[in-house]
Amino acid sequence: MSACENAPEPSGAFSVKTAHPATIFENPDEKSPVVQSLKTGEKLIDLGAVSAFEIRIQIAGRPVFSPWVKVQTKSGQPGWVLAALLEAPGKSR
């Protein structure tokens, strides 16, 4: 068991909220190397960084503008994911 698995979950956590494919990228850019694909409900740790720009994506056929947020998986892998695909705990839609 790694130290990361024993660490308490920080208060800044997210979970993946949509059935839209969610992917963590190395950098805040869809052309950046993929770090990991995510499943709906998967928990992520908020590392506190947000991109200074937004990109346009389609979710359920509707255009959405979203910044990127820097996150970390429970296994300790850092990367960037679109904020529109995430949900803070206790904020279900």
pLDDT tens profile 17-45: 866 678 999 999 999 999 999 988 899 99
Compute the distance between CA of residue 15 and CA of residue 85 in angstroms, rounded to an integer.
9
> Residue type for 18, please?
T
pLDDT band per the 50, 70, 90 thresholds, residue 60: confident
Contact 26, 33 (CB under 8 A): yes
Domains of the chain: 3-87 (2.30.30.40)
Q: Name the pTM for this structure.
A: 0.78
The strand ranges marked E within 1-93 are: 13-16, 22-25, 34-38, 43-59, 62-73, 78-82, 86-87
User: DSSP assignment, residue 11?
Assistant: S
